[in-house]
Each structure stands twice: as C-alpha cells, then as structure tokens.
Amino acid sequence: MAEFSEQLNQLFDIAHVDAMSKIKIEQDKEFLNDQRNDRKMIMTTEDKELAEKQQRSKDRRDKEEERKRKASLQSASAADANDSDDGKSSDVSDNTDSCDEYTPSKAFKSSATQLMAQTKKKTSRDQLFNADVTSPLDRNKTSSREAVRLMIPIAAALGHDPNDLPISRNTIQRARTSARHEMSKAIMDNFEPICPLVLHWDGKILPEIVGEGSIDRLPVLVSGDGMDKTLGCAKSELRNC
C-alpha cells in the first residue's frame, strides 16, 4: 500500500521519447527533469520572470515617451519666443520705416519657380529600375507583382513619396525586359574571340527563372584556347517538367 501511495506522487510521464533532444528551451528541459525526479518546481498562473521583463520594457517605453513630450514642449516654447521677438522687431520697423511693401523681382520669381520644378521632378523609370535593381529581382525569382509590394515600403522608409515614383507591375516588367536585352547585347558586343572555337550543346533540365517547376533547356556554348562562353540557353518545347 505504501509503495502504491508513493507511485501516485510520481509523474505520469507521457512526454515524447526524444523530448530532451526536441526541446530547445533549457528551462523547459530543467522543468521536465525536475518533474521526473524530486518535483521541486511548480507551475503557477503567472510567469514572474516574463512579467518582470514586460514591466521593464513598459518602463523604458514610458520614459522614452516622456522624453519626447518634454522635447516637443521645449521646441514649442522656443518657437513662441521667436515669434514674439519677430513681432516686436516688425512693430519697430513699421514705426520707423514708412517704405512700401517689398515685392520680389521677376528674376527671383523665375529662379524660385525653376527650383520648385526641379524639386518636384519625378524620378524616371531608368533611374529607379536600373540593372543593379532588376538583376537581383531575376536572381531571386521575384515576380514583378511581388517587387511592387517590396518597393513601396522601401521607398517610404527612405523618405520618398511612392506616388511620385513610377512603381507599378507593368513598369517593373518593362524595365526588367529592357535590362535583360541590354545585358545580352553588351555580352555579345564584348565577345571578340581571336582563336578557333569548338561548339558544344546538350539538353539539361533547369529550374524555371520566373515561376515554379523545371524546364528542359538547350545550353549552347563555345570553347577554345582556355576560355569558354555561353551563347544561349533556350527553352526546349519538346519536354517541360
């Protein structure tokens, strides 16, 4: 009877056979070992350690908000003081100077208009989506629609108004197509072999560049005098995987 009573105080262990290797949190491992042996640890309704961490985090946020509030009040007070000083100086000038109201010259108006136009000038597609941007999109197999979702928050985080930037799925797709053609043309223009070449080709199943799955392609390359150059890797319409 005494032996049966002692077994009642033992843990009814239904843990996984590999629980110690699957559990990543060291504290959880210690708790499981404790429950299997002396059972000195207990489970309560509140995690005191987590509650203390959350309270410290809340205190830091409150201090930061209080600091920002004091800074804004100081800025407002300084602005009011400057406004009062400007009002006094303007009253003095009105009493002592009876000249007509100042009107800017035509040259000043023209230069100011040009400056505003340059400031509001929108970024062109070629400036925003150059080869440095489109090439990583192709390498990471990012669709044009996904690129839009990435570029808008990035532009906003950098301080730009996304409405002033040519960000759209069709714009990105056209820029990517143009960059591919320009890169291909530059590679062909710079390839000037001065030795006899051997032509090689063979079918190979490769991952699809845009989308999922694989496709049968026909790589074609030339080699000679210790160098090799890929001429193309066209899709094969005979077999798609």
In a domain? residue 78: no
Query: 238 and 218, same structural domain?
Result: yes
| Mean pLDDT calculated for residue range 157-179 | 84
In a domain? residue 170: yes
In a domain? residue 136: yes
| Mean pLDDT calculated for residue range 218-234 | 84
Domains held by the chain: number: 2
Share of the chain above pLDDT 90, in %: 1
Output the pLDDT for position 93.
Answer: 47
- Whether 58 has a pLDDT exceeding 50, the answer reads yes
- Whether 52 has a pLDDT exceeding 80, the answer reads yes
Report pLDDT digits (tens) over 65-116. Answer: 888 888 888 777 776 666 665 555 555 444 444 445 545 555 555 665 655 5
In a domain? residue 70: no
φ/ψ of 222, rounded to 5, equals -125, 155
Query: 183 and 129, same structural domain?
Result: yes
Output the pLDDT for position 112.
Answer: 55
Report pLDDT digits (tens) over 27-44. Answer: 888 888 888 887 777 766
In a domain? residue 3: no
Query: 171 and 222, same structural domain?
Result: no
Question: What average pLDDT does the structure give for the chain?
Answer: 76
